[in-house]
Amino acid sequence: MDKMIMRRMEYYGYIGVFEEERKLGQRYYVDLEMELDLSGAGTSDDLTQTVNYAEVHELVQNIMHHKQFKLIEALAEHIASEVLHTYTSIVALTVKVTKPHPPFDIHFEGVTIELHRTRK
């Protein structure tokens, strides 16, 4: 199966268990790996034969800016559900959400949730 991969899209969101996280917000990275047939777009050079990645970015941005979650697991699940619902040509999707600087008194690069969903 062909793939369209969008890496390290950067958003500002209000996700977290702590009230300060949901009030102040912070930066997040989202990666999407969408499985779909790209042969029609490849042979026709026609945008209508593929998924418009600018629209996918806008969809994720709207989720990040207008939804609040306590867990990045819930955010990733919502992104997967919305992308699969909106783009019926996508047969499977991997979503990664990275919180680069969790508010803990320990030092590590961040935490990433990765989930894989297929069309039912």
Tokens standing for 64? 């990040």
Exactly one of 67, 70, 99, 120 is catalytic; name it.
99
Q: Write out pLDDT tens, residues 42-74.
A: 999 999 999 999 999 999 999 999 998 999 999
CATH for 3-118 (3.50.50.60, 3.40.1280.10, 1.10.357.10, 3.30.1130.10): 3.30.1130.10
Q: Annotated catalytic, 99?
A: yes
pTM here? 0.93
pLDDT at 120 over 80: no
- Report pLDDT for 46: 97
Q: Which residues pair with 118 in a beta bridge?
A: 92
Mean pLDDT of 69-83: 97
> How do the domains of the chain map onto residue ranges?
3-118
Q: How confident is the model at residue 5 (pLDDT cuts 50, 70, 90)?
A: very high
Q: Is 17:43 a contact under the CB 8 Å cutoff? A: no
The enclosing H or E element of 9 equals: strand 3-13
pLDDT bracket for residue 113 (50, 70, 90): very high
